[in-house]
């Protein structure tokens, strides 16, 4: 479990003075004004090895996956079907599968229409 996050020299965090967040629990909620660094914390926890975060640290080192519930999480893990209002899918793998199914179903409908059009033309020729 993360007990401390130190941010320095990234986005709204000063390069001169590190900012440390301590007293963290298993589940934490960060809120604040726009530009206060919430998204930077989230991005750091999601991708701590990015070069932007070279001066940042987390204690202890992140060994397990950290789940950050933000816009990226929603985009990657929730998918709203265009065909059934109110139906959505959770889980990144399921999102990709659902999108592939929707594309395939649209292609099937397109091919069925082409088949009907060709059959109608064939009937006219008879």
Q: Do 86 and 59 share a structural domain? A: no
Q: Do 15 and 60 share a structural domain? A: yes
Total number of domains constituting the chain: 2
Q: Do 76 and 110 share a structural domain? A: yes
Instruction: Report pTM.
Output: 0.59
Q: Do 77 and 60 share a structural domain? A: no
Q: Do 84 and 46 share a structural domain? A: no
What 8-state DSSP symbol labels residue 10?
A: B
Domain holding 43, by residue range, is 4-66
Q: Do 78 and 61 share a structural domain? A: no
Q: Which residues are registered as beta bridge partners of 19?
A: 7
Q: Do 40 and 16 share a structural domain? A: yes
- CB neighbour list of residue 8: distance below 8 Å, 6 or more residues apart: 14, 15, 17, 18, 19, 55, 56
| Tens-digit pLDDT string for the chain (126 aa) | 888 999 999 999 999 999 999 999 988 999 999 999 999 999 999 888 899 999 999 988 877 778 888 888 877 777 665 655 555 555 666 667 778 888 898 999 999 999 998 988 888 887
- Whether residue 13 contacts residue 5, with contact meaning beta carbons closer than 8 Å, is answered with no
Report the 10 Å Cβ neighbour count for 50: 12
């Amino acid at each position: 479990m993360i007990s401390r996050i130190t941010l320095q020299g990234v986005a709204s965090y000063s390069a001169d003075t590190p900012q440390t967040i301590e007293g963290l629990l298993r589940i934490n909620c960060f809120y604040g004004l726009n530009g206060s660094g919430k998204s930077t914390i989230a991005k750091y926890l999601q991708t701590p090895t990015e070069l932007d975060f070279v001066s940042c640290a987390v204690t202890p080192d992140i060994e397990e996956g950290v789940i950050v519930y933000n816009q990226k999480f929603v985009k990657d893990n929730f998918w709203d079907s265009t065909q059934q209002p109110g139906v959505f899918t959770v889980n990144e793998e399921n999102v990709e599968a659902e999108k592939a199914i929707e594309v395939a179903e649209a292609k099937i409908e397109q091919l069925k229409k082409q088949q009907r059009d060709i059959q109608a033309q064939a009937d006219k020729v008879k």
